[in-house]
Amino acid sequence: MKLICTSDEIRQLRSMLQMSQAEFASKFGFNLAVFRHWEQGFRRPGGHAQLLLTIIAHSPDSVKEAIQIARDASKEAKKKVESAPLYRRCTI
């Protein structure tokens, strides 16, 4: 399996998913400006980003689901911290 790393491959992936640059970046957790630079060929994604782009190409729904689970868990953890008595005293 070849990693997705060229601007043409990134553009094709986004087009295949019928998403704007902003939608793609937001949905998959990329910085929009960085994503635009990748797609325009000014920069290339690093190893981890290449791997994630490749996984998105093969199973976009699984990646969306995993990211949503992580975001939900992060929100729950934040709620727990903010509701702790010590946190409330320190932020007054």
Whole-model pTM: value is: 0.78
Asked if 34 contacts 85 with a C-beta cutoff of 8 angstroms, the reply is no
The residues near 14 (Cβ < 8 Å, ≥ 6 apart) are 20, 21, 24, 39
Q: Taking the domains of the chain in order of start, what are their residue ranges? A: 1-58, 60-92
Asked if 50 contacts 4 with a C-beta cutoff of 8 angstroms, the reply is yes
Closest C-alpha to 24, from 2, 5, 12, 71: 12
> What one-letter code names the amino acid at 39?
E
- Tell me, what's the pLDDT at 84? 72
Greater pLDDT, 40 or 74: 40
Asked if 59 contacts 41 with a C-beta cutoff of 8 angstroms, the reply is no
- Tell me, what's the pLDDT at 48? 95
- Tell me, what's the pLDDT at 59? 96
Can you say whether the dihedral through the CA atoms of 20, 25, 31, 37 is positive or negative? negative
CATH code given to domain 1-58: 1.10.260.40
89 has a pLDDT exceeding 60: no
